[in-house]
Amino acid sequence: MRVDEHARDVGALTGSIRQQAVSKGFRLHVLGTVGSDELLMLDSAREQEGPHLLIAAGFHGEESAGPWGVLSFLERVRPQAMAGINLSIIPIVNPSGLRTGRRQNDWGENPNSGFCHPELDRDPPSREGRILLDNLAALVARGQDGFLSLHEDIDQERFYCYTFEPGAEPGPFSNMLRDTGCRCFGAVPDCADPDIGQVRNGIIYRHCDGSFEDRLFHEGVPRTACTETPGKRQFTSRVDANRAIVNSFVDYMQREHRMSYDDAEEFFEFNMLGAWMGERTPAFFERPYRV
């Protein structure tokens, strides 16, 4: 796996995420504490009428480009791109694993296992997993329209993703995520891999494995996904790909609720010019506004 040494600097990464989140108008919450690490969540400061989306990264410590992709997204996102969505982000689920570059946490537990399907006899929930389960109702509410989990496969040179949708076959949501990742790395060939599952056209569909994305789908979230950027590629290209995946996810869900990125930007520009489009005309402010 190709990784820059700074990718494991959890303190610097968390500090930068906090700084960017506050500057972009997110609120900070601590879901719980594991060892000396806080399990941090960011969410939109104000409730909006659009979709409620949840993003998580860093379930496995050797999959470092996901959390750094979240930071890259926060650094570049513009206020108008956030119009009409309620976005929550858990940027690092497994800080102790990320710090050491190890898949499991400091206690040898898998943080993305044991959320459902006990008949599979998988690992039970980890310390981090139990915190997510303790906050499950709130997380389902925050991600009630869609959930995205940013992962990596350290043995791959190409991209694939796990997706869940209501239909019997992958739909536009699955194809959108697959296409975004494949534009960066190409798709893993079709195969029936005992380690990852049945891959068809870069997608492993409705694969019940007890993961958090599996649990949220069973909790009624209509679209959930786990993307897998290839760990054998350069770290910076993987970070860029994860940022692109987040952007595509947000834009798709905006369009599903009839407000695309372009629509949001247009509203922003018109509003700043003083145009009135009815009582639901959105307002955007570069700085915190006080009456």
pTM for this one? 0.87
Domain boundaries, the chain: 5-260
Q: What is the DSSP letter of 103?
A: S
How far from 127 is each of 41, 107, 164, 289, CA to CA, in Å?
Answer: 16, 9, 25, 39
Q: Which of 3.30.450.190, 3.20.20.60, 3.30.1300.10, 3.40.630.10 would CATH assign to domain 5-260?
A: 3.40.630.10
* CA-closest candidate to residue 254, choices 243, 267, 242, 241: 267
Which of 6-10, 193-197, 235-239 has the largest mean confidence? 235-239
Q: Give the mean pLDDT of 182-197.
A: 94
| Per-residue pLDDT at 146 exceeds 80 | yes
DSSP string for residues in 108-140: S--TT--SS-GGG--PPP-HHHHHHHHTHHHHH
Please choose, from the candidates 37, 90, 36, 92, the residue with its C-alpha nearest in 3D space to the C-alpha of residue 60: 92
In the chain, pLDDT over 90 holds for what percent of residues? 78
pLDDT of 92-140, one tens digit each?
A: 999 999 999 999 999 999 999 999 999 998 899 999 999 999 999 999 9
291 pLDDT exceeds 60? no
